[in-house]
Amino acid sequence: MLKVYITDLSCYNKGFLIGEWISLPMSDDELSESIDKILLGGEAICAIEYGYEKHEEYFITDWEWEDIEMFKIEEYSNVFTLNKQLQLIEDQASNKQKEIAFLLNEGYANNVEDALCKVDDVIVYENQSMKDIAFNLMDELYGVDYKLPPIIANNIDYDGIAYELEISGNYTIVLDDIIEYIG
Quick: pLDDT tens for 112-159.
999 999 999 999 999 899 999 999 988 888 887 778 888 888 889 999
CA distance 111 to 83: 13
Q: What is the largest CA-CA distance in the chain?
A: 87
Could you tell me where the DSSP H helices lie in 25-181? 28-50, 79-90, 94-105, 112-118, 130-142, 150-153, 158-167
Q: What is the pLDDT of residues 96-118, one digit of tens each?
A: 888 999 999 999 999 999 999 99
What is the CATH architecture assignment of 93-183?
Orthogonal Bundle (1.10)
Domain boundaries, the chain: 2-91, 93-183
Is CATH 3.10.20.480 the right assignment for the domain spanning 2-91? yes
- pLDDT above 90 as % of the chain: 63
- Burial group, residue 98, by CB count within 10 angstroms (0-12, 13-18, 19+): buried
Whether the per-residue pLDDT at 67 is higher than 90: the answer is no
